[in-house]
Amino acid sequence: MEKETTIFGIRAVIEAIKSGENIDKIFLQKGLRGELFTELEHLLKKERLNSSYVPVEKLNRLSKKNHQGVIAQIAPITFYDIEELVTKALESDKVPLFLLLDQLSDVRNFGAIVRTAECTGVTGIIIQKKGGAPVNGDAIKTSAGAIFKIPICKVDHIKDAVFHMQASGIKVIAATEKTENTVYDISFKEPCAIIMGSEGKGINPSVIKVSDERAKLPLLGEIESLNVSVACGAFLYEAIRQRR
């Protein structure tokens, strides 16, 4: 199984970005200053890369080497182009089923969802460049290697993916409790994409607003929500049931 690659040091990370390395996330030390660090910050904004400011203790845990306050993680996979993936999916004999993850941040939930998506024949997974779970070693482990077997795309914003799906004739279904429709009231037989939200906030209201349909899972107990990976599995297997 492949492992993630870590790059450390300000100049090394700058050069990695400029050379087009497939960087998944960059960790920056809080309070760091300097001309070279400012150059890196400008580059991060220009390339819209996923980054976060963390205490030096976090960086020390990630690498025992002289990281100079900056560590970059290289994604273990190559991300697909959404336009190319959608076009190929619509040209195939199989009815497309996409999964859109709106800033889902827990890496283990992400890995579990990728595993279920691969098992249910999902066409591809679309995630956001910033704010989502890192595609790293933990994600690989939790997905049981499925992350290497299913196409994953990155977009600037999930709404970009929603609009592209809709323009391509693919129905977009938001998994949200803010509806009277259950998952059993929705048709998954035509080309469609399911949006799952983050663990705490769910789907962004602006994303729900532009979706074609909304659906929820019936909850009969006292707890008000399911784990997102479990909920995602329920949606995907309902799609399979209908398509069979």
pLDDT in tens, 76-117: 888 999 999 999 999 999 999 999 999 898 999 999 999 999
Q: For residue 13, give every residue at least 6 positions away whose Cβ sits within 8 Å of its Cβ, in sequence order, or none.
A: 7, 26, 40, 70, 71, 72
- What pLDDT is recorded for position 62? 84
Q: Of 28-42, 61-75, 182-196, which has the strongest mean pLDDT?
A: 182-196
With a cut of 60, say whether residue 4 has pLDDT above it: no
d(CA 194, CA 236): 8
Residue 48, phi then psi, degrees to nearest 5? 55, 50
What mean pLDDT is predicted for residues 62-82? 88
- What pLDDT is recorded for position 3? 43
Higher pLDDT, residue 48 or 55? 55
What mean pLDDT is predicted for residues 144-165? 95
pLDDT tens for residues 215-238? 999 998 888 788 999 999 999 999
